[in-house]
Structure formats: structure tokens, C-alpha cells
Amino acid sequence: MSGIAGFLDKLARIVGSAHVLTDPDQLEGALVEPRGLYRGSARALVRPADTAQVSAVVAACAEARTPITPQGGNTGLVGGQIPIGPEIVLSLKRLNRVREVDPLADSLIVEAGVTLAEAQAAADAADRLFPLSLPSEGTCTIGGNLSTNAGGVAVLAYGNARELATGVEVVLPDGRVVDVLSKLRKDNTGYDLKDLFIGAEGTLGIITAAALKLFAKPKSRETAFVGLASPERALALFRSARETFGGGVVSFELLPRIALDFVLRHARGARDPLAGPHPWYVLVEFTSQVAAGLAEPMTEWLAGAAERGLIDDAAIAASGEQRAAFWLLRESISEVQGVEGGSIKHDVSVPLGAVPDFLTEASAAVARRTPSARVVAFGHMGDGNIHFNVSQPIGADKQTFLADWEGMNEVVHDVVAKYQGSFSAEHGIGRLKRELLLRKKNPAALDVMRAIKATLDPLGIMNPGKVL
Ligand SMILES: Cc1cc2nc3c(=O)[nH]c(=O)nc-3n(C[C@H](O)[C@H](O)[C@H](O)COP(=O)(O)OP(=O)(O)OC[C@H]3O[C@@H](n4cnc5c(N)ncnc54)[C@H](O)[C@@H]3O)c2cc1C
């Protein structure tokens, strides 16, 4: 046996023939991302069960010069997990063991294919909190979260995925295993290698396990849905929240009225918590380690904000169901936007104080380009991270509108650049923003990135066509 058949046979001897899938029907789910925006091709979907098998598969691929696309839950939003072809897709889903929960060290060690929800549950079972939280948490994996340095709705209090990892285990593009799976909070033994692989989107190696930070579970939590006049007021409200509750401010999410309109129109069970319409809304959540210690301060804080004219109305969640109903309004936005037709997306960040001016100027720039396009700018305002999405004009042709994707991006990203912002705040580069990265990133920084890539992956087999 020789050529591709011999290569696939070699992989089958490593992982078992049931885990080298070549049938087009079995491959299909790994070749397209759920929104259908990216489709690729691959020789096989390979599903190793542990780090040793990942290492052997990667070594075989290096020998055969066969590229590899690592894949976790396939929820990435920039196409990084979809093979361009004709490489193999290496699924990490069978690496699904919780290796260790250490409540005393506040540490959790899990394999890369453990879903985010399973990692949260493992922490919860030990009466601890793993705070990373994304709408895709039932499907996305820890390996994918770290590879994209995922953000989500609790970054304000706990940081991005990067801040939540103390160590990783990684298979290099030649099959060797780098074991820096440390649960230590202090370890200054040379370069911080874990940070090289976190956020690398599978272009430098394959994360097979991670040591994660755990926290005390909050004893009380309060959530409010607030109506207000403008992003300027929302910014002032955020500053006031931080002054009053410090690190207890876990989430501070901004929504425009149009986003709420979309959700009320299309999301099942969605209800407006406030009596009348408001131009903007904030979903704010506080936690505390003092049992039942938050309701009164939050009510007083909201009353004070109303007296000072910062907010116009607010509802405080009186139960877990009400809290979930508030979050449904925020977390349905991306999905319901699809029902309203095509949308051109921008996952951007600017310095916090610049958010209101950015919103005004970017909206004006969009209006100049496509006068009846609908700006739906929402997101993690407390992080300065706005999902600046532009929905097509009512009744417009979807394909014609989407054909202007790059032109619209340019207009919005020019405003981002004016404020020294980022054109990729939390979703990564993948395939979607590769050209943009090459055009916009500082040339010396790009050179350093290329040098790192060439050193670790001289054959260029690790997730080619992504990031660089
Ligand atoms: C509804 C929805 C809401 C979302 N909300 C947010 C949000 O609020 N914040 C946010 O940051 N993201 C969000 N995302 C994006 C997405 O969930 C994250 O990017 C997630 O972290 C990816 O995990 P995954 O396991 O699905 O990875 P995949 O999609 O499978 O892969 C993503 C990238 O990581 C690489 N990769 C995957 N596993 C490994 C590994 N073990 N080793 C090396 N490389 C690997 C892939 O090659 C690819 O480049 C959302 C997605 C959806 C669908």
C-alpha cells in the first residue's frame, strides 16, 4: 500500500480505523461551519483519543507533509476550524477527560475536547467557579476557547481565556509534546510558552490539555435591565458602577433599541422588561461574596443614577427565571439578526472612553455609504468591545448588500483605527480577517509572528491559510 491509502492506513493504526473517517457523509459536519459561511475539503477526519495519539498522528502528518486543521466544537466565527483542503481535520473531541480538580489550589486540569459547559460543571461539583461564559458554551471546547482566546460576558471581572489559564500541554507540529501544564500562579522560568499557543488559532501546535483557574462561587448576584438615552450615559453609568461595586461588576452589556426590536420580533419567549421604549439599554450584573448583600445597594445605586438623570427606567431580576429572560434578550441578538437579512459584522474594540464617539462616527460613516443600512451595535461595553453589525436595508437584495462586505469593513475599521482600536477584539483572525491582519498589523510585529511560525512549524503544516 502506498500514497494516500498507505498514509490513512498508518493513521488508522494509531487511532483505530473507526476514527479515520473518509466517507463524505461522515466528513460533512467537519467541513462546514454552522452558519454555512465557510466550506472546505479534507482527506479525512481523524479522531485521536489522547495526547499520545495526537502526537503520533501529527508526527505522521509531518513525515507525509500533510497539513492539519485542528477542530474543537466548530463554533469559531472566523473560519479558522474549517480546512481549506486537502489536509486532514484533527478533532479533539475524544480528549474529553477531566484530569484533576484541585479546590485548594483553585485549579482544574481538563483535556482540550472538554466542552466549556462540562468544565463549568466540573468546577461547580467541587463548589468552585470556572467563570468563562459564552453563548456557545454547550458546544465549544476548552481547546477552542484557548486557541481563540475567547472573551464572553464575564471578562470584566475575570479576564479573557488567556487570563484563566496557568498552563497548557501542546503537541508541536513535529509531534513532540511541550508540557507546561502547570497549575502554579508564579513560575518565572523563562519565556511564557503557554501564551504563545493561546490565541494562536491552531497555527503553532495543538493544545491537548489546559490547567485553568477556579474561583469562589459568588454568594449573591443581582441583574438589572436598564433603559437610557445614549452610549454617553451608559459610559457614565459604567464608571459609577465600578466606583460603587469595584470588581463585583461582572457584566456590562450595551444594546440599542433596534437590537431589542429584532429580538422581540423573532426570539421565542422574549419580552420587554420595561414599560416604554428607550434608545439604548444596559444589561448589568453584579456579584458579591456576601450572602444576600447586594439587593439593597443595587436598588439604591439605580435610584441614585435615575436622580442624576443617567438612566430613565430599570427592572431588577426578581428570580432566576427573570435573570434568564434578561440574558435571552442579549444572547439572541446574533441569531435573530440573520432573520432580518444579511449583516456585515465587525468585532471591534476601542479604549473604553472612546466608545460613544466611535459609535456616533462609525454609524455616520455607514449611513454615508449605504443610507438605509441598519446599524445594530451591541456587546461588551465594559470591555470596550462592540459587535458593530450592519443589517441590510429593509427589502434590499441580500447578496448585493453582502457583496459590499469589504468596503463596509474598510469604512468601519477606519474609525476603529482613528481611536487606536482593534479590528478583532475576541473572535480571532482565522480566514475572515487574514488579509486585514496583513494590511493593518504593525510590520515589525508581523515579522515577529512570521519568525515564530517559521521556527515552530517550518513545514507549514499547522492550520495553513489561517491567521498569517
Ligand atoms: C452563538 C455563538 C456565540 C459566541 N459568543 C462568543 C463570545 O461571546 N465571545 C467569544 O470570544 N467567542 C464567541 N463565540 C465564538 C466561539 O464560540 C469561540 O471562538 C470558541 O472559543 C471556539 O471554540 P471551539 O471549540 O468551537 O473551536 P473551533 O471552532 O473548533 O476552533 C476555533 C479555532 O481554534 C482552533 N482549535 C480548536 N481546538 C484547538 C486545539 N485543541 N488546539 C489548537 N487549535 C485548536 C481551530 O483550528 C480554529 O482555528 C461565539 C460563537 C457562537 C456560535
C-alpha of residue 74 to centroid of ligand 1, in Å? 7
What is the H or E stretch that residue 236 is in? helix 231-245
Burial (0-12, 13-18, 19+ Cβ within 10 Å), 357:
middle
Cβ-based neighbours of 137, under 8 Å, separated by 6 or more: 115, 116, 117, 120
Q: Given this model, what pLDDT does residue 301 score?
A: 98
C-alpha of residue 42 to centroid of ligand 1, in Å? 20
Q: Given this model, what pLDDT does residue 3 score?
A: 85
Cβ-based neighbours of 126, under 8 Å, separated by 6 or more: 101, 103, 108, 214
Q: Is 450 helix (H, G, I), strand (E, B) or coil?
A: helix
C-alpha of residue 139 to centroid of ligand 1, in Å? 9
Q: What is the spatial distance between Cα 149 and Cα 168, in angstroms, rounded to a whole number?
A: 13
231 Cβ closer than 6 Å to some ligand 1 atom = no
The CATH number of domain 220-334 is 3.30.70.2190: yes
DSSP 392: P
Q: What is the spatial distance between Cα 415 and Cα 305, in angstroms, rounded to a whole number?
A: 31
Q: Which fold has domain 98-216?
A: 3.30.465
Q: What is the spatial distance between Cα 352 and Cα 383, in angstroms, rounded to a whole number?
A: 7
C-alpha of residue 84 to centroid of ligand 1, in Å? 17
Domain limits, CATH 3.30.465.10, in the chain: 98-216
pTM above 0.75, yes or no: yes
Domain limits, CATH 3.30.70.2740, in the chain: 342-426
80 Cβ closer than 6 Å to some ligand 1 atom = yes
Question: What architecture is domain 342-426?
Answer: 2-Layer Sandwich (3.30)
Q: Dihedral sign for Cα 455, 75, 13, 98, please.
A: positive
C-alpha of residue 177 to centroid of ligand 1, in Å? 23
141 Cβ closer than 6 Å to some ligand 1 atom = yes
Contact criterion met (CB below 8 Å) for 98 and 114? yes
155 Cβ closer than 6 Å to some ligand 1 atom = no
C-alpha of residue 132 to centroid of ligand 1, in Å? 13
DSSP 11: H
φ, ψ of residue 440 to 5 degrees: the values are -105, -25
198 Cβ closer than 6 Å to some ligand 1 atom = no
pLDDT in tens, the chain (468 residues): 568 999 999 999 999 999 999 999 999 999 998 888 899 999 999 999 999 999 999 999 999 999 999 999 999 999 999 999 888 999 999 999 999 999 999 999 999 999 999 999 999 999 999 999 998 999 999 999 999 999 999 999 999 999 999 999 999 999 999 999 999 999 999 999 999 999 999 999 999 999 999 999 999 999 999 999 999 999 999 999 999 999 999 999 999 999 999 999 999 999 999 999 999 999 999 999 998 889 999 999 999 999 999 999 999 999 999 999 999 999 999 999 999 999 999 999 999 999 999 999 999 999 999 999 999 999 999 999 999 999 999 999 999 999 999 999 999 999 999 999 999 999 999 999 999 999 999 999 999 999 999 999 999 999 999 999
Angle at the Cα of 430 from the Cα atoms of 345 and 403, rounded to 5 degrees:
40
149 Cβ closer than 6 Å to some ligand 1 atom = no
349 Cβ closer than 6 Å to some ligand 1 atom = no
Q: Which of 67, 76, 128, 83 is nearest to 101 (CA)?
A: 128
Domain limits, CATH 3.30.70.2190, in the chain: 220-334
